[in-house]
Copies of this chain bind each other. A is one copy, B any other.
Amino acid sequence: MSLSLAIKLHLASSSPSFSLLTLNNHQHANKLTTSETCSNTKVRPKPIYSTNPLIIPTCKVRPRVQYCGTMIKSSLIEPDGGALVDLVVPEGERGAKITLAESLPKVQLTRIDLEWVHVVGEGWASPLKGFMREDEYLQSLHFNSLRVKDGSVVNMSLPIVLAIDDETKERIGSSSHVGLLGPDGDCVAILRSIEIYKHNKEERIARTWGTTAPGLPYVEEVITPAGNWLIGGDLEVLKPIKYNDGLDNYRLSPKQLREEFDKRQADAVFAFQLRNPVHNGHALLMNDTRKRLLEMGYKNPILLLHPLGGFVKADDVPLDVRMEQHSKVLEDGVLDPETTIVAIFPSPMHYAGPTEVQWHAKARINAGANFYIVGRDPAGMGHPTEKRDLYDPDHGKKVLSMAPGLEKLNILPFRVAAYDTKVNKMAFFDPTRAKDFLFISGTKMRAFAKSGENPPEGFMCPSGWKVLVKYYESLLAEEPSQQPVLST
């Protein structure tokens, strides 16, 4: 892919209609016309669905005496660092904090910076209490882990950092604290006891992705346009981050998820990270995992079906479409709503393979998951400039199984499922009769949906499939001149 062909859309920081829907679509944008890019970015004012039996009422919506206020004693896995970090300022203190924030020098956040405020503020990165200072940044970059005060180690594979430019640094001067402005201009947080240090982009990129090739989606979107300084400090989030896209009720914090697992009396929680539609092979795997956990003696294993809700590259299926597809999978009974929680993981994607899969797993520990399902080439993508996978597809699960700070997590490698033509359904691959199996990749699945062709019966529940077809039809309807795109 030639970078010079890439069309870049930069979100104006003052955008009044801020939304998480894929507003930035530079990646693979060279395959798209400008208008298609725009169509993909439009904010859907009315989400395709707005209620769903799986929406877990949160404390804020329907207070439940037994779950609010104090943390219930739980047999769930301990959060990293021993206690879940919660950086959202209590309502009673909010007014004073906002007044303070308004008096401070300001740092303007991008929408992806705001996603990180959300992530860190709710404790997904526990025990991290803000954007990284240099000592945390260096440990993350070099060791994929942080040493905590008691000498133990927690996993931390992605640098969670906030970049500022020279002018902002100048403006901050000798101030110890700064206010953080959301993309719509609201002051959303305070960063306290700040430390400003150099942002060596090349080193950050090389050590995080294992390549500096141009075309990495997060790099192009976030790092290349960012300033040459990083600002670390302790975060105070002035109020819960909301996106007002009809999906906020699915954005359960680690605390809310733990409460829900306790309420359901889960004795094992197994997490499934995804950024793609769920087909019956995934469902087979998740159902089989539950069966295996029951065989191991667990009485009530609960599945956390946990689609990623932050930044994704332009050719990934948008969050609202994925959420509708997931809801159909549960409505159709492919997954059992009684033993499944669907929630949105608010993190942006790095597409950093073995480095990122550790983050995906670590964050789920904080949400209470003690089992993590890992597939082939997790968080991977094609090499941006060479015709190969960016990462060895097996490295993700190997690195995950050896990662410092993840020893307490049970890693469940993905069993390979494929379409068994003898029984017309997805089944675990049997190498003794390999010729009976059809492998339908994500690329092929999207190609089917884009062309309107049906996949083999039994590949995905029909109502879920319809959601995808409708999405790709809507793209084509808006872009009649655009050829169907077979994306990676």
Contact of A404 with B404 at beta-carbon distance under 8 Å, contacts A143-B144, A200-B392 already known:
yes
A415 within 8 A of B: no
- For A395, give the chain B residue with the smallest CB separation: B138
Known: A202-B211, A206-B209. A402 touches B138 (CB 8 A): yes
Q: Is the CB of B395 within 8 A of A145?
A: no
Q: A202-B211, A206-B210, A206-B211 are in contact. Are A402 and B147 (CB under 8 A)?
A: yes
- Which residues on B sit within 8 Å (CB–CB) of A143? 143-145, 402-404
Residue contact A203 to B210, C-beta cutoff 8 Å: yes
- Roughly how many angstroms separate A269 CA and B144 CA in the complex, as a whole number? 31
Closest chain B residue to A212, Cβ basis: B212
Which chain B residues lie closer than 8 Å to A398 at the CB level? 134-135, 138
User: Chain B contacts of A376 at CB under 8 A?
Assistant: none
Contact partner of A139 among B212, B402, B407, CB < 8 A? Answer: B402
For residue A355, CB closer than 8 A to chain B, the reply is: yes
Asked, given contacts A143-B145, A404-B153, whether A399 binds B138 with beta carbons under 8 Å apart, the answer is yes
Q: How far does the alpha carbon of A202 sit from the alpha carbon of B144 in the complex, in Å?
A: 19
Indicate whether A207 reaches chain B with its CB closer than 8 angstroms: yes
Digit string of A396-421 for contact with B (CB within 8 Å is 1, else 0)?
00110011100100000000000000
Residue of B nearest to A405 (CB): B143
Q: Does A142 contact B (CB under 8 A)?
A: yes
CA distance A198 to B391 in the complex (A): 11
Contact-residue bracket for chain A:
20 to 34
- Select one of B151, B402, B404 contacting A135, CB under 8 A: B402
- Chain B nearest CB from A439 CB (Å) reads 22
A402 to B134, CA, bound (A): 12
Contacts of A145 in B (CB 8 A): 143, 404
| Interface presence of A354 (CB below 8 A) | yes
Question: Which positions 73-129 of chain A face chain B at CB distance < 8 Å?
Answer: none
Bound together, the chains give a CA A80 to CA B352 distance in angstroms of 31
CB neighbours (8 Å) of A135 from chain B are 398, 402
Cβ of A355: which chain B residues have Cβ within 8 Å of it?
Answer: 142
Interface string of A199-230 (1 = CB under 8 A from B): 01011001101111100000000000000000
A379 CB to nearest chain B CB (Å): 14
Enumerate chain B residues within 8 angstroms of A211, measured Cβ to Cβ.
202-203, 206, 212
Interface string of A374-402 (1 = CB under 8 A from B): 00000000000000000110010011001
Contacts of A144 in B (CB 8 A): 142-143
Q: Which residues of B contact A402 (CB under 8 A)?
A: 135, 138-139, 142-143, 147
The CA-CA distance from A355 to B134 in the complex, in Å, is 16
Nearest CB of chain B from residue A203's CB, rounded to whole Å? 4
Taken together as a complex, chains A and B put the C-alpha atoms of A406 and B147 apart, in Å, by 13
| Known A143-B145, A206-B211; further 11 A-B contacts with Cβ < 8 A | A135-B402, A138-B354, A138-B398, A142-B354, A142-B399, A142-B402, A143-B144, A143-B403, A200-B392, A206-B209, A212-B212
Q: List 6 interface pairs A-B (beta carbons < 8 Å), by A numbering.
A: A135-B398, A143-B403, A143-B404, A153-B404, A203-B211, A206-B209
